[in-house]
Amino acid sequence: MSAAQTTRTADKPTEAPPEHRREWAHMALITIGPVVVALVIGGLVLIAMGVNPLTYYSYVAGRGLFSPSGLQATLTRMGPLLLIAASLIVAFRAGIWNLGGDGQFLLGAVLVAAAGPALVEIFPVWVVLIVGLLIGAVVGMLWSVVPALLRAYQGVNEIITTLMMTFLGVSLANVLVKLAFLDPTTTVPQTRTLPVEDRLPRLFDTTVSSGLLIGLAVIIVVHLVMTRTAFGLKLRVVGANSKAAIHAGLPVPLLTVLVFGISAALAGLAGAVDILGTQGNVRADWNPAYSLTVVPLVFLARFNGFGTIAFVFLFSVLSIGGESAARKLGVPNYFSLVIVAILLVVLGLTEYLDQRRQQKVRS
Amino acid sequence: MVGSSASPVAAQGPVVSLRQVTKRFPGVVANDHVTIDLWPGEVHVLLGENGAGKSTLVGMLSGLQKPDEGEILIDGSAIDIASPRQALDLGIGTVFQHSMLVPSLTLVDNFTLGGPWWKRPDREGVAARMREQASSIGIRIDPYALAGSLSLGEQQQVEIVRALMRGSRCLILDEATAMLTPRDAEQLGELMRRLVARGLAVVFITHKLNEALAYGDRISVLRLGKNAGAMEPQVLKSADTSAAMAEVVRMMFGTNAFGEAESGAREMRAVGGRPVLAVDGLAVDDGSVPLSGISFTVAAGEILGLAGIDGNGQKQLAEALAGQRPIRSGSLKLKGVSLEKAGVGERRSHGLRYVTDDRLGEGTVGTFPVSTNLLLKQIGDRPFWKSGVEQPAAIADNARRYVGEFDVRTPSIETPVAKLSGGNIQKVLLARELSGAAEAVIFAKPTYGLDVQNIRSSRRRIREAAEAGRAVLLISTDLEEILELADRIAVMSQGRIVGTVDNDADARRKIGELMSGMTV
């Protein structure tokens, strides 16, 4: 690059619009392309199972997206999923692989489910809801203390410790449901149920829980904090190059603990929103495993909050529609996970090919 | 020893010869028409600073890289060494600085790893041959010990045994003593002598001059990728240690004759006596090179050069001064303010700056834009962030200003910094560290790996920083650079400052003596 050219671009740093647009088109292609390819491959799997993919997909879309009740269920499901996604975005952007979201979610959920019906007898509903959300966040946070300290001060790999804590957390949640918080009035082992009128308010005249708003608000705030603030930048520096963070004088262990705390609190909050908004109680052996399900979605969106909203919406449609399709067409419930898994593989291949292409362009 | 062992095989000629070998990497000539002969029965010491081209040379001999020009002769005939396996088949074995053994396996299993997968390895047979080979060179190894349970020195002995069992006639020890304890290093030296007594050709690469003279029969010095000089066995044997040492230092650090007045040298400037940076009795813990008793002062406008062979604690000192590494004892004062307990940020705000030599590893975040990297040490500060929220206009203005002022050649201020050339990344670092209220600046190897033009501009920045009244500590392994820039020169060796001299006409000789471990 010649000096004259550099000076000119340095004086006027705004990139030329066509290049910008081309970059956008490229981003859209490598983001939406894999989705289409995954749906096609998923269709082939359906054919192998003896199901017409067009029937399946149109049924899923009809039930998850185009029927009023289905759409409302889809939007309600998005609430906790968005919170989980926000939890993962904070952690992943800071280079910390908190894969313990399921344990944090479930313990938050169980304690909220236990506290909610008890508190509602004493306090007004709005107090119960706020306290419930706080309980979920705090419990989730507490469940990350061990991995956080081990990672921050001993350098112990958090992937292992958070996964282990999830095993413990899921088991502990079950124990709590069956032994401590068992509802004596039912035969099924579950906690007492929070009355429908004491749950998170519904939006307007629909059945959509206001958990959706909490989820949307949180993920947008998280996105803005991570991309627009000094705190977010510090976390991203730690995530991108921890040696540079030390060189720049950032308190890396403290930031690591904070990231764990925020991430786990959001996972616990997701549990609280799911209980206070939708479930009302926790049945024994209930574990929706949202966290590990959302991981690929967050990757698909490249940790971008707005992109994640789109993918979470898509996944909600798939899973709500898929649940109906399971009953109607005999395709197992888990097929939506198969689609996500295929999507992830296709995404990985796309990324690999894209990088090879870019290297070729450069050389 | 040399005479007795070399004479029976001397008639054979060299085992391996490099003839006018050149190897280029993008932007650098790593080896420039290098010619070296490796004779049987000799320890051939290869000396040179980091970046002198030793590793590239080893890479070509061991089949990892191919020369662009010139040829490698084995027993007198030119051969293309296409792969590490072929190098082994040709009898060239390499022992690297870091162990290549799998720590969780026993030695026998390590040795049988390369065998065909469908065959059951003959563990007993291999173990027996290992013992036999080891005892023939006067060492003992337990074939059934876990590799990870051995010390580094023992692991290297095992690797030498492995190389011999594969029929090596030429053994390359790449910085083999760099990580060893003195005792292990001594044992390795004795082992080398026994190996050459059996007629092997040993290439011994080291930074340490005393080892080179103690164990070497022949010395070749590389400098900036070229042959900088060599000492024949008869010269080396007849010269007394200190004379040989001085000669080697001269070859390593510059070919100018001793008394020659450096035309490029700075005139001595009157430097105000007020010390800005004062370090007294500094001690720092470190696994490989702990520091102790480090004391110096740098006055405003003064450049104190810190010379020394790489790996003698320079990096540890720079990190301890910058606040990245805890100080065990001693004091660090900047304009009278004690900073030994302060963190990186506090030291920076007092005006202590550190231009690291690890530009992409710790100096910058490669995937982040130039504009962000320029503010990496000021995240959250006004006016670039207000109440913690970034102000893109202020950040962009700052970036444009420094990109212009420091002539950073970048397509845009949003370009990820890793996409820039080394020289431009260095300009980003210089802009960041020299801006604002800098009082004292530590430069660590500021021109390492740069091209001539960027070397010149970096040195100009250093000089300008001093002329602007800042105290400058210039850490460099390039003696020419220090002689060109510094007012006074301290020499570092094994975690201590072994002497400080004024940069006068006699400085080069005195530094050479200090470096080679003699007292002035």
- Residue-wise pLDDT tens digits, A98-142: 999 999 999 999 999 999 999 988 999 899 999 999 999 999 999
Q: Does B230 lie in the same domain as B112?
A: yes
Nearest CA in chain B to A241: B365
- Looking at the DSSP bridge assignments, the partners of residue B174 are B205
Say if the Cβ atoms of B366 and A243 lie within 8 Å. Answer: no
**B376 and A CB contact within 8 Å:** yes
Q: How many C-beta atoms lie closer than 10 Å to residue B505's C-beta? A: 13
Using one digit for the tens of pLDDT, what is the confidence trace for B506-517?
Answer: 888 888 778 776
Rounded to a whole number of angstroms, the distance from the CA of A252 to the nearest CA of chain B is 12
- Kindly state whether residues B223 and B315 are assigned to the same domain: no
Same domain, B236 and B327: no
Residues B445, B489, single domain; the answer is: yes
Rounded Cα distance, A306 and A89, in Å: 11
Percent of chain B residues topping a pLDDT of 90:
37
Nearest to A169 by CA among A299, A300, A263, A289: A289
Mean of the per-residue pLDDT values of chain B: 85
Q: How far apart are CA A259 and CA A252, in angstroms?
A: 10
Confidence of residue B320 (pLDDT cuts 50, 70, 90): very high
Report residue B107 CA to chain centroid gap: 31
Q: Report, in angstroms and rounded to the nearest whole number, the Rg of chain B calculated over CA atoms.
A: 26
B237 and B114 in a single domain? The answer is: yes
Q: Return the DSSP state at A311.
A: H
Position A219 scores a pLDDT of: 97
- CB-nearest to A234 from B362, B379, B412 is B379
- Domain A53-362 class, CATH top level: mainly alpha
- Please enumerate in sequence order all residues whose Cβ is within 8 A of that of B75, keeping only pairs 6 or more positions apart, or say none: B13, B15
Q: Which chain A positions have a beta carbon within 8 Å of B354's beta carbon?
A: 247
We report the CATH number of the domain holding residue B424 as 3.40.50.300
Do residue B27 and residue B64 come from a single domain? yes
Q: What mean pLDDT is predicted for residues A267-273? A: 96
Instruction: Please give the mean pLDDT across all residues of chain A.
Output: 88
- Helix-helix angle B422-434:B452-467, to 10 degrees: 10
* C-alpha closest to that of B372 among B361, B359, B385: B385
Domain end marker among B193, B218, B253: B253
- CB-closest option in A13, A237, A248 to B414: A13
Residue A206: the pLDDT is 78
Q: Are residues B245 and B380 in the same domain?
A: no
What is the Cα–Cα distance from B310 to B452, expressed in whole angstroms? 21
Give the length of chain A. 363
Q: Model ipTM?
A: 0.80
CA–CA distance, A196 with B197 (Å, rounded to integer): 91
Which pLDDT band holds residue B203 (cuts at 50, 70, 90)?
Answer: very high
Indicate yes or no: CB of A249 within 8 angstroms of CB of B323: yes
- Give domain status of residue B261, yes or no: no
Indicate the residue among B253, B287, B316 that finishes a domain. B253
Q: Which of A16-25, B205-214, B463-472 has the lowest mean pLDDT?
A: A16-25
Residue owning tokens 């649940």: A323
The pLDDT, as a whole number, for residue A172 is 95
| Count of structural domains, chain B | 2
Residue B269 lies in a domain: no
B199 touches chain A (CB under 8 A): no
Q: How far is B95 from chain A, CA to nearest CA, in Å?
A: 30
Question: Does the pLDDT at position A8 exceed 50?
Answer: no
B139 — contact with chain A (CB < 8 Å)?
no
Distant-in-sequence, close-in-space partners of A155: CB < 8 Å, separation ≥ 6: none
User: What are the phi and psi torsion angles at B74 (to 5°)?
Assistant: -115, 125
At residue B481, the pLDDT reads 87
Strand pairing class (B352-355; B385-386): unpaired
The pLDDT of residue B403 is above 50: yes
Asked whether residue B219 is assigned to any structural domain, the reply reads yes
pLDDT bracket for residue A163 (50, 70, 90)? very high
**Is the pLDDT reported for residue B200 higher than 50?**
yes
Contact B385 A249 (CB under 8 A): no
Average pLDDT (A6-21) is: 50
The answer on B200 and B288 residing in a single domain is: no
Q: How far is B393 from chain A (nearest CA, A)?
A: 12
* Residue B332, C-beta contacts closer than 8 angstroms, at least 6 positions apart: B277, B278, B279, B282, B321, B338, B339, B340
The lowest-confidence range among A242-246, B231-235, B321-325, B352-356 is B231-235
Integer Cα distance of B426 and B360 in angstroms: 9
Q: Inter-chain contact A241–B396, Cβ cutoff 8 Å?
A: no
What is the pLDDT at residue A19?
67
Asked if residue B190 and residue B47 are part of one domain, the reply reads: yes
Look at residue B265 and tell me whether its pLDDT is greater than 60: no
Nearest by CB to A13, which of B344, B377, B396?
A: B396
Cα Dmax for chain A: 81
B356–A233 CB contact, under 8 Å = no
Does residue A211 carry a pLDDT above 70?
yes
d(CA B314, CA B328) in angstroms, rounded, equals: 16
Q: How many Cβ atoms sit within 10 Å of the Cβ of residue B222?
A: 27
| Domain contains B263 | no
Q: Which residue has the higher pLDDT, B259 or A123?
A: A123
Q: Peptide bond before B383: cis, by omega within 30 degrees of 0?
A: yes
Return the HEC string of B366-379: CCCEHHHHHCHHHC
Task: Tell me, yes or no, whether B231 and B288 share the same domain.
Answer: no
Selected residue with higher pLDDT from A245 and B289? A245
Least confident range of B78-82, B285-289, B328-332, B387-391? B285-289
Residue contact B412–A13, C-beta within 8 A: yes
- Tell me which H or E stretch contains B303: strand B303-307
Specify whether B212 is located in the same domain as B335: no
**Cβ atoms < 10 Å from Cβ of B364:** 28
Residues of A in contact with B343 (CB under 8 A): 249, 251
User: Is position B520 within any domain?
Assistant: no
Distance from CA of B361 to the nearest CA of A (A): 7
pLDDT given at position A229: 95
Range of the domain at B116: 2-253
Residue of A nearest to B376 (CA): A248
For an interface test with B, give the residue of A2, A12, A20, A247 to mutate (most B CBs within 10 A): A247
B447 and B504 together in one domain = yes
Nearest to A241 by CA among B359, B425, B272: B359
Local confidence band at B460 (pLDDT 50, 70, 90 cut-offs): very high
Reference A235, options A266, A269, A261; nearest CA is: A261
| Residues of chain A contacting B, Cβ within 8 Å | 1, 3, 6-7, 9-11, 13, 15, 228-231, 233-234, 236-237, 240-241, 243-244, 246-251
Reported confidence tier of residue A363, pLDDT bands at 50, 70, 90: low
What's the CA gap between B350 and B333, in Å, rounded? Answer: 10
B399, burial (CB in 10 Å: exposed 0-12, middle 13-18, buried 19+): buried
Q: Give the best residue of B373, B376, B419 to mutate against chain A (max A CB count within 10 A).
A: B376
Q: Do B362 and A243 touch (CB under 8 A)?
A: yes
* B6 pLDDT above the threshold of 70: no
Across B137-149, b (16+ Cβ under 10 Å) vs e yields bebebbbeebbee
Q: Do A15 and B412 touch (CB under 8 A)?
A: yes
B8 pLDDT more than 60: no
Chain A residues inside the 8 Å CB shell of B380: 230-231, 234
Residue B17 to chain A, least CA–CA distance (Å) = 35
Q: What would the pLDDT profile of B38-67 be if each residue is shown by its tens digit?
A: 999 999 999 877 667 888 888 899 888 889
Quickly count: other Cβ atoms within 10 Å of residue B89's Cβ: 13
Is residue A155 scored above 80 in pLDDT? Answer: yes
Q: Which among B362, B400, B411 has the least Cβ separation from residue A244?
A: B362
Confidence of residue A17 (pLDDT cuts 50, 70, 90): low
| Contact check, Cβ <8 Å, B348/A249 | yes
Element (H, E) at B283: strand B275-284
Total-model pTM: 0.74
